[in-house]
Amino acid sequence: MPESDFNQIITNLTSGNPSFPSYIWQVIAAIYFLYILIYAFLQIRQVKVMQKRLSTDADGIMTYVSYGYIFLQFLIFVVTLLML
Amino acid sequence: MFIVPSLRLLENDESLEYRSNTYIISTVEPNQPQNLGIQLSPALKDKFKNVSSMASLASFPCNIRVYGQNPDEFLLLFVRKDRIILIFNVLIQVLLFFFPFLLQFMLNVINDLIFQNAFNLATFFASNYWNAIILAWTAYILRGLYNIFFKWFYDINILTTNRFIDLDLINLFHHRLEETSILNIEDAKDTQKGIIQSIFNMGDLEVFTASGQTAFNLPNVPLSHKIRDFIMDVVVEERKKVNDARK
């Protein structure tokens, strides 16, 4: 790829050029984080199932950790969208 | 669409539980044998204690319950992979976190040394788009850390007064709970190999059942030789009790 073409692509990607508008970045980020968040909810569901198999006195903490994890993922998602 | 039926199954699972088991599972209060008047030798009774749920190895825990545990059944031992394995896996994730920064550094060096800064990478790396990629990568690493911890936590083997139980969380949609009566246990073998296992005093334990095949594999467990000894002591003791009862 010629250098000028590469530099043009970089300029298009980072400057909200009409040929690659910035909302495309937001759509890509939204799809990715949707995947991460659905995966996180499924992970928590699996942990709840496992807590039925093995019950310990740390179950309450585990639940809080799980919801903290979801919150953190959501926070990263919002910050990313605001940045784009 | 696929979540709805599985959630319904979960609700049904609650109602299908055997009543006494439901009680056992739902309580997390210490269930000391002496409180229930269970016939155990005085020396054994005193051994039951609250243990840390995060431990790799604990004997006589009374604050942990396993699915289907009967009121007269007690946990004698639980063991999971050594915590050093968890730390190694976490360290790998921490190193992976720095991958985008390493990539940025490498590309800058290549662009500088080979292409004399012909490519305008500085603009991209200074933009919010690159920061967004790093945040997305952080989310991915967090997902990995969460997965690693829970896979370690729920990959556990338990010896009770009646059964040997192997609980595995293999991946998000795959878990397994296997058990056998301790009277079926024929043999146990522990192997310590490699520099990591030798340094951290852990090993691979195999428990064989009456069929002669390996029924349970416990890789990288701490003090595997002591666990093997403990399991076989319990098996011999239980067999003796059964034989005495038959006489």
For B174-183, the pLDDT digits (tens) are 888 888 888 8
Banded pLDDT at A3 (limits 50, 70, 90): low
pLDDT for the residue numbered A41: 87
User: Region B71-94: what's the mean pLDDT?
Assistant: 90
Measured between beta carbons, the chain B residues lying within 8 angstroms of A49 are: 10, 175
**What's the CA gap between B124 and B242, in Å, rounded?**
74
User: Region B159-163: what's the mean pLDDT?
Assistant: 87
CB atoms within 10 A of CB B181: 12
CA B155 to chain centre: 2
pLDDT for the residue numbered B9: 35
pLDDT for the residue numbered B121: 79
Q: Are A47 and B16 in contact (CB under 8 A)?
A: no
ipTM at complex level: 0.79
**What's the CA gap between A39 and B234, in Å, rounded?**
42
Note the pLDDT tens digit of each residue in B196-218.
999 988 999 999 988 766 678 89
Tokens of B174: 């795959």
Question: CA of B61, closest CA in chain A: separation in Å?
Answer: 10
Note the pLDDT tens digit of each residue in A36-58.
888 888 888 888 888 888 888 88
CA dist B57 → B42, B85, B234 (Å): 23, 13, 16
Q: Provide the phi-psi class of B201: left if phi over 0, else alpha when psi is between -120 and 50, else beta.
A: left
Element (H, E) at A65: helix A59-83
Angle at B23 between CA B17 and CA B24, to 5 degrees: 100
Write the residue in A39, A49, A57 that is nearest to B63 by C-beta.
Answer: A57
Is B119 in contact with A7 (Cβ distance < 8 A)?
A: yes
Is B143 in contact with A32 (Cβ distance < 8 A)?
A: no
Measured between beta carbons, the chain A residues lying within 8 angstroms of B138 are: 76
- Model confidence pTM above 0.95: no
Q: Identify residues of A whose CB sits under 8 angstroms from chain B CBs.
A: 3, 6-7, 10-11, 13-14, 25, 29, 32-33, 36, 39-40, 42-43, 45-50, 52-59, 62, 66, 69, 72-73, 76-77, 79-80, 83-84
pLDDT for the residue numbered B181: 87
Q: How many residue pairs bridge chain A and chain B with CB atoms within 8 Å of each other?
A: 119
